[in-house]
Structure 1
């Protein structure tokens, strides 16, 4: 009797926005999914609770392991026991503004963690494919558009840590012939985005204003421009990168740039509010050094991976606003829901 053995994937940061979507995607493709989570006094698995099955259940295909990406011994032990075919390294201290307050921890969790994983893979000798979640923040002060050939000029401890990890991936790939790839992802958002990140801060804040729980939304630099896409599409590209015949580095983005001010204006307008009556500027939200403008040139990913984004800026705002209004007990306009229904005939992710 013949049967197929499912691929195994190990995800760091599985409880985050990208990790939760990636877990759902891989499960939909028949993978056995393993995730590393930190032990804490409170549960931090809300984004994956809807796909979690008791590991003792014969139907279970997702398994969680307590571990710390700053501990080499734990990393080695998990990789030895799981024996994954693919590792997606998404775990990090991922907040750019916070990285200025805790630069050493950011370097350890965001940069050195990649070295720990790469070295564990090398020592295992198992031919594990490795995906590194690199960031558009590495381009920093380099003028847009930014492609794989654009020089890096990082402007934050977070970006510096990501750049260290990026170059370690390149060195392990070239020095040890490992299948190790960088996905240089530009900003990607969703209803699962962390509440302190600017897009979610805006859509959640507007929902609170509509629900009469708050009156004002306090913001930092409204002039910074970013290339914003939809997170579920970006994790599809992560998977495509590891299915490619050859490893490499890939820029992923929409090719459009919009300011924080534009995001604020669009979101308030969708909610039927005048943003100028509710937005206040607070200097504490400004970064010591700012990245002014990021625009992805993702032509290589389109050519090599066959990837193109379906959700652009206006659609993204509506999707996020609908979700946060619903979470606040309000009835959304529903345009965001209709966008998803129209553009994703085979929606593989679950509740948001």
Structure 2
């Protein structure tokens, strides 16, 4: 039985990762930021809240990081803590850098100074590829970030490589492409789509404003991706791995797939900023492009080459975007119905 510390335990990935580790018998510590209330909703949703040992950790405070690592002495550390919303990174670039880069530096330095014999997983991101220089993107593709979020993540990614080489640490980075689930945050476009469609269906909500409907993403299912995090640390050597499905769908396609699940047959009119999506059966406006949701610089295409993970980790994605859209739409329909029990 391994002793495991997960930072960012309150997020989608933290919850699914904790469940997978508990199922194999590991002792799981969940690090959360200090605050008046604990964000444990996802842990409760998965029925594991009482099985996870929670602790307070501020990754931006080196002394706190060092003290927590020294007290727990984990065998494995999964660093999922991050300011992970790309749009917010333009508004809060200093905070984003503090958490996403300095937090990783604090963990690495604490591990080094404590001579901690632990394996580290660092959550890197496909956003580091930015304005992509080749298609699809692999571990060898040059990075070209387009947001403060991606820049901070790339700096942390490079730091992990440096500590791995300089200090012979078992420090691995997973370059995970977009991965969604029923527990995705509402600020992310997939969950915004499925939850808003449910409210339109059951609560007569207004039409949904969206950004670039032509943006292309490689969407996978979060529980499968967190399983791969574990496989990366179980692998014999530390390394960097792209985890993706090697498929591509536009935001528009995800919207249409999710809409079909709630009973809407959508069609589009107009192009670019003038595009609007209507329900064919009723003629009602369901979604429209709103320039407020365009980023200062936007990543328009991401598709991962997962060949390395397939070969070395046995990675084979099973649940792809159409099924993800279906599951998320069903989940949000049920949630919307509960909030309006008379419907």
TM over 0.5: yes
* Aligned counterpart in structure 1 of residue 128 of structure 2, from 117, 138, 143: 138
Matches within 5 A, 1:100-119: 100-119=90-109
2:68 aligned partner: 78
What is the rounded CA distance, in whole Å, between the counterparts of 1:78 and 1:168 in structure 2?
Answer: 21
Matched, 1:188 2:179: yes
2:334 aligned partner: 326
Matched, 1:230 2:227: no
- Matched length: 318
2:272 aligned partner: none
SS in 2 for 1:211: helix
* Aligned counterpart in structure 1 of residue 168 of structure 2, from 177, 182, 193: 177
Matched, 1:165 2:173: no
What is the rounded CA distance, in whole Å, between the counterparts of 1:164 and 1:257 in structure 2?
Answer: 27
Matches within 5 A, 1:177-256: 177-256=168-247
Report the TM-score, using the length of structure 1 for normalisation: 0.89
SS in 1 for 2:199: helix
Following TM superposition, where does structure 1 have runs of at least 4 consecutive aligned residues deviating by more than 4 angstroms?
Answer: none
SS in 2 for 1:321: helix
Matched, 1:312 2:320: yes
Q: CA RMSD in A?
A: 1.1
2:281 aligned partner: none
Moved more, 128-137 or 106-115: 106-115
What is the rounded CA distance, in whole Å, between the counterparts of 2:304 and 2:138 in structure 1?
Answer: 6
1:16 aligned partner: 11
SS in 2 for 1:100: helix
1:91 aligned partner: 81
2:49 aligned partner: 52
Per-residue deviation, residues 263-283 of structure 1 (Å, max 9, x unmatched): 111111221213422102221
Stretches of structure 2 lacking an aligned partner (at least 5 in a row): 267-276, 279-284, 339-343
SS in 2 for 1:236: helix
Report the TM-score, using the length of structure 2 for normalisation: 0.91
Matched, 1:34 2:29: yes
Tell me how far 1:215 sits from its aligned partner.
2.2
Tell me how far 1:213 sits from its aligned partner.
4.3
2:136, 2:305 within 8 Å by CA — same for their partners in 1? yes
* Aligned counterpart in structure 1 of residue 305 of structure 2, from 297, 321, 335: 297
Tell me how far 1:40 sits from its aligned partner.
2.1
Per-residue deviation, residues 273-308 of structure 1 (Å, max 9, x unmatched): 134221022211110101111111000000000111
Moved more, 306-315 or 226-235: 306-315
Per-residue deviation, residues 154-184 of structure 1 (Å, max 9, x unmatched): 0000000000000000000000000000100
Matched, 1:154 2:149: no
SS in 2 for 1:40: coil
What is the rounded CA distance, in whole Å, between the counterparts of 1:48 and 1:109 in structure 2?
Answer: 23
